[in-house]
Chains A and B, each alone.
Chain A
Amino acid sequence: EIVMTQSPATLSVSPGGGATLSCRASQIINNNVAWYQQKPGQAPRLLIYGASTRATGIPARFSGRGSGTDFTLTIRSLQSEDFAVYYCQQYNNWPPGGSFGGGTKVEIK
């Protein structure tokens, strides 16, 4: 099973600042990576798929890049609603449904 490792575990950012979250896969997964946002008490929400394509309704301040094994999610000009936990996910290989990273919590500095 492919292991997804996210870093850092926690990122402290001032409102209006930027954040770059990293995700590394234990094997090459092409660009079959998604990013999700989860706020307390809510279900995850799809932000990015195909490593760099924003899902419907996702603001342009969210961007993803990467291929192979290394991927990043960048959030520009953080708004109050962006403070949340972010998960990367590979859906290139087993298991069906994919495997998630451990998450990065973006908190207010």
Chain B
Amino acid sequence: EVQLVQSGAEVKKPGESLKISCKGSGYSFSNYWIGWVRQMPGKGLEWMGIIYPGDSDTRYRPSFQGQVTISADKSISTAYLQWSSLKASDTAMYYCARQSSGSYYDPQDYWGQGTLVTVSS
């Protein structure tokens, strides 16, 4: 059974750093693009970026380039989303999601349960 299990909720202060994770199981983690989706409170879904764990090829949506870092460790089947300096506007639910096949131009067939990040002074 394919599963994506994300790390738990975080409460941080502005300016702090954070790294959240998404661990895949039940499939060949290296061979599927996996990405991160932001959902701000009461709002819709936004793709942030995507990574191919096999070679760490990473693509960012322009509005998120330089704001976050996406990485992966294929040896432990885990993808990461990282901030170096959080802002209050980063408060959101973050989902990881797997592309359904080998292309990043594909729908997402499996999703993590979400990680709620709250940034408040």
The chain A residues found within 8 Å of chain B, CB to CB, are 32, 34, 36, 38, 43-46, 49, 55, 87, 89, 91-93, 95-103
User: In angstroms, how far is the closest chain B Cβ from the Cβ of A6?
Assistant: 9
Instruction: Give B100's nearest chain A residue, CB to CB.
Output: A49
A97 touches B44 (CB 8 A): no
A71 to B97, CA, bound (A): 23
User: In angstroms, how far is the closest chain A Cβ from the Cβ of B100?
Assistant: 7
B105 touches A92 (CB 8 A): yes
Excluding A43-B97, A45-B111, A96-B50, 8 further A-B contacts by CB distance (< 8 Å) are A43-B112, A44-B97, A46-B100, A97-B33, A97-B37, A97-B49, A97-B61, A102-B44
B107 touches A46 (CB 8 A): yes
We find that the number of chain B residues with CB closer than 8 angstroms to chain A is: 26
Q: A32-B105, A89-B107 are in contact. Are A44 and B47 (CB under 8 A)?
A: no
Interface centre among A36, A95, A103 (most CB of B within 10 A): A95
B114 near A: Cβ within 8 Å? yes
> For residue A49, which residues in chain B have a CB less than 8 angstroms away from its CB?
100, 107
B46 near A: Cβ within 8 Å? yes
B112 touches A46 (CB 8 A): no
A91 touches B45 (CB 8 A): no
Instruction: Give A96's nearest chain B residue, CB to CB.
Output: B104
Instruction: Give B62's nearest chain A residue, CB to CB.
Output: A95
Interface residues of B in 60-104 (CB under 8 A from A): 61-62, 95, 97, 99-100, 104
Q: A43-B95, A44-B95 are in contact. Are A97 and B109 (CB under 8 A)?
A: no
A38 to B62, CA, bound (A): 26
A55 touches B109 (CB 8 A): yes
